[in-house]
Structure 1
Amino acid sequence: MPGVTALVLDRSRTRLLAVRRTDTGAWTPVTGIIDPGEEPARAAVREVAEEAGIACTALRLLDVRALPPTTYPNGDHAQFLDLCVLCEAEDDAAPFPADGENTEARWFPLGAPPPMNARFVEQLELAITDRPETRLAR
């Protein structure tokens, strides 16, 4: 299934938006499933608004990778193709957990992000280095 990670920076490019997931308690960038027929950039912007109450603009594709298969507590199985989109907040609004999928939403300094898994750390590094090409996992 196609999924999106929205890596959102503030306009000064000094802070990262992160949310604490209700299901695992982990801090992550905003993530979600791309609706059928939806453009990935629109999905990233929509997910950020739905999950953190922040308006943002999608800037470019940072990273594309197949994620490992996952099994949900109800027994459902899924595997996602993750499209990581670099986004920029449109203003300095304070994020909040807008839809129940997260217990917290806040800005973190780029030099002191919350603890995140290796994938999100790698994607943040891609955003910080700001190279123009998209990273394609091989």
Structure 2
Amino acid sequence: MSPVPDFVLEIREMIGTHPLWLPGVTAVIRRDDEILMVERADNGAWTPVTGIVDPGEEPAVSAAREALEEAGVVIRVDRLASTSVMSEVVYDNGDRASYLDLTFACTWISGEAYVADDESTDVRWWPVDGLPPMSDSMSQRVAAALSGEREARFTS
């Protein structure tokens, strides 16, 4: 499975490398005192499960779908933890995109985590107090999901 959804490839055929504005999700999946993290195949970074929302798809449904597709786990999406906008990304092929990220606090329900697609090279549970190094953006998303706050954080 390609990490780029078919609908994005179709749009790219029409607009080339012009900037795209895409909704994305981050699923911070908790199992007791552990967080599920994936090691990304494209850059080697450890992150929670992430993905692009399909056209017409509810973002919480997208988060659950991505967890199953990327890590083979069934989750419950508990709440919206934060929203943020990522700076424009320019890919090696020249494609440009900006993402509206919706981060969800999630709970593991079932399934043994494994690398379920070609977007990751490793999938594992990490202790909440011993997470691998990650970008500031990802650290903020995880912190928002673990905060226990009822309201979503809106970052600027």
TM over 0.5: yes
Task: Kindly provide the CA deviation profile for residues 10-69 of structure 1, in whole angstroms up to 9, marking residues without a partner as x.
Answer: 1x2x00000000010000001000000000000000001000001101110000011100
Distance in 2 of aligned mates of 1:129 and 1:135: 10
Question: Could you say what secondary structure the match of 1:133 adopts?
Answer: coil
* Corresponding residue number in structure 2 for 1:113: 131
Match for residue 30 of structure 1 among 20, 42, 49: 49
Question: Could you say what secondary structure the match of 2:130 adopts?
Answer: coil
More helix, by proportion: 2
* Corresponding residue number in structure 2 for 1:60: 79
Task: Kindly provide the CA deviation profile for residues 56-112 of structure 1, in whole angstroms up to 9, marking residues without a partner as x.
Answer: 011100000111000111111100000001110003x43111011000001000000
* Corresponding residue number in structure 1 for 2:34: 15
Identity between Structure 1 and Structure 2 (%): 41
Distance in 2 of aligned mates of 1:128 and 1:109: 12
Gaps of 5+ in 1: none
Q: Which amino acid aligns with 1:7?
A: V
The alpha-carbon deviation at position 115 of structure 1 amounts to 0.9
Q: Does the alignment pair 1:69 with 2:85?
A: no
* Corresponding residue number in structure 2 for 1:94: 112
CA contact (8 A) 1:94 1:106 kept: no
User: How many residues end up aligned between the 2 structures?
Assistant: 135
Distance in 2 of aligned mates of 1:78 and 1:125: 25
Match for residue 79 of structure 1 among 98, 112, 130: 98
With normalisation by structure 1, the TM-score equals 0.94
CA contact (8 A) 2:104 2:145 kept: no
* Corresponding residue number in structure 1 for 2:140: 122
* Corresponding residue number in structure 2 for 1:50: 69
With normalisation by structure 2, the TM-score equals 0.84
CA contact (8 A) 2:23 2:53 kept: yes
> Following TM superposition, where does structure 1 have runs of at least 4 consecutive aligned residues deviating by more than 2 angstroms?
none
Distance in 1 of aligned mates of 2:121 and 2:74: 19
The alpha-carbon deviation at position 125 of structure 1 amounts to 1.6
